[in-house]
Amino acid sequence: MKYTKREFEKLLKDKLMSECNVTLDTASADQIYRCLAMITRQIMSDRQKQFQSKVLGEGKKPAHQPVQPRPERGCRERSG
């Protein structure tokens, strides 16, 4: 989902009020930064969930699963 300037501003104002109990006009730079980071993290998490549900719906292997080492490339000690 893409956000308009007004929608994102509302997200920021709501987050500042709920997390820091301040308005955008009275918030410090640190409070704004922290709330922007929380919003960004939530957006990224939502997009990751959306992507995973799409991938799983198509029957593909999820991208975040670690690749298993091949037997010939396993963790063996080198000899000599």
Q: What is the pLDDT of residues 22-33, one digit of tens each?
A: 999 999 999 999
- Label residue 21 left, alpha or beta by phi (over 0 means left) and psi (-120 to 50 means alpha): left
pLDDT of 1 > 80? The answer is no
Q: SS3 breakdown of the chain: % helix, strand, coil, rounded to 5? A: 60, 0, 40
pTM: 0.67
pLDDT at residue number 56: 82
Spatial neighbors of 13 by CB under 8 A, at least 6 apart, are 23, 24
Residue showing tokens 């704004």: 32
Average pLDDT over the chain reads 83
User: How far is residue 72's CA from residue 25's CA, in Å, rounded to a whole number?
Assistant: 61
User: How far is residue 18's CA from residue 30's CA, in Å, rounded to a whole number?
Assistant: 15
